[in-house]
Amino acid sequence: MQKNMDIILPPPPTRFQILLASNSPRRRELLNMIVPDYRLASGHDTEETYPASIPQSKVPEYLSQIKAAPYLTELKENELLITADTIVLHRGTILGKPVDTSDAQNMLKSLCGNTHHVITGVTLTSTEKSISFSETTTVNFGHISDYEITEYIERFKPLDKAGAYGIQEWIGCIAINSIEGCFYNVMGLPLHALYLKLKEF
């Protein structure tokens, strides 16, 4: 007979009650790996636009700050809000979420045989202070056929993903040669860096 065993949760990285403001199911799953007892913040839609004067590498941080702004008047003293944004930077162009399947195909074709950078910006906000940081992962993307690109888009519907792909999905197995940096960052949340920042906060 199998004995009942208590589930041992990891120690919380901070004294705050963590809130996550994100519609991304991947970010929710990732945060759960280091903060099992966080809560979702009530939804606020923000327009993800940025001034042309901002350096491309700083765009994710800027957008994570913009996402945090609507919650500032709602936070309680014991709460800490996490907001994040991820972009793919390829050949001096920011690739966001594709607008349709044709756009997704074009993005993936441009990535084939090339190296690109995935940058995630994160903002931590409490009633007392706010800090922002970003993490960059270099991804070496191999060659895949037009057929494989079409199959991936039809099966996995990556229109909600920056750069039109998810590294944790089938395409990550067949197309990505190697990465330099945090794997989870490519999924949408740099867990190691985030954990350290939460401890410092």
Query: Which DSSP category does 162 fall into?
Result: G
CA dist 171 and 182 (Å) reads 18
Residue 1 has pLDDT above 50, yes or no: no
Q: Which residues are catalytic?
A: 85
pLDDT surpassing 90 at residue 43: no
Express each pLDDT in 158-171 by its tens digit. Answer: 999 999 999 999 99
**Bridge partners, residue 87, by sequence:** 119
